[in-house]
Each structure stands twice: as structure tokens, then as C-alpha cells.
Structure 1
């Protein structure tokens, strides 16, 4: 048997209102956002070939760079065998603008 005195906690009390951290609410009243278009970033557009069109003409008109004709050709290899053989009414997929 030990003769050491043990601590007496019988008079101790505690109260906790909340364990959640108290944080002021963020003010987002001045935040604005707008999206003009996602087409240039996402791509996925199509173009219907007109009489007299060429891939370079379509690239210039739709992508802003006539030299981007190969991107259109690459995006349409499932329907095009030759970049010089496109025909009116044909629907081509357009790659995203860069």
C-alpha cells in the first residue's frame, strides 16, 4: 500500500460553448465573373464546306490562320483522305483556336 497523496480533481469544472472555429463570414459582394464564350478554348465546333472553299480558306476564316489548315485536316482524318478533296455540304470538325 502506497502512502502517496493523489491529486483531488473533485472541484474542477469546465464549460465548452462550441468546438467549431469562430470565423467571420467572407464578403463576396464585390466579386463578379463573366464568360463570353468557351468555343475558342474548348473547340468542338463544326464547319459546313461551301463551294470554292479550301482547308486554308476555312482555317483563315475560322481559326484566323491559313497555315492552320493541317489542324483541320488532322481533326477530320476519319472523313478526309486528301486535304485537296473537300466538297460542298461536307461537315468538318474544327479544332480549338490557339
Structure 2
């Protein structure tokens, strides 16, 4: 579901789409636990090649859409996001 949602957001011209998995941000050039689907997404998302864990990537962000793992975002992580951030999980 995460990849399909990300593709939809990109088609809708959302500018800053970053996908994360258990290893953190997916970016072009990452070699750890990648597959053809993640490699495809790395080419069309995360244009700044942001790296780090989910906790690190969420800092200063406006929206989080969580669709795969329960309880992966803490209240502290939400507090690190921008004011009035949107969290859907």
C-alpha cells in the first residue's frame, strides 16, 4: 500500500515524498535491503536523498502516512514534526 500511495502523491505533484522502511529512508544509491520496487521509488521520490531513520526523517515534516507497521511513531517523534502536522496511521 505504501508504494501505491506514494506513486499517487507523486502523480498529484506532492513535492517532498520520502518513503521509509525498517532501515530508514529510501533514497537513490542506498544498498541495504533494497529490491526492485524500492529502487524504482528511490528514483522518483526523496529528491534530496535524505537519509536516516524514520525518527530522523520525521523532524520538521508536515505529514506522516503510516500504512505498514503499528506503533512505529512515538509522541516525541510527532512533536519533532512541524506545528500542526498531519499524522495518519
**TM-score, length-scaled by structure 2:** 0.25
Bigger relative contact order, structure 1 or 2 (CA pairs below 8 A, ≥6 apart)? 1
TM-score, reference length from structure 1: 0.24
User: Which has the larger strand fraction?
Assistant: 2
Q: Which has the higher helix share?
A: 2
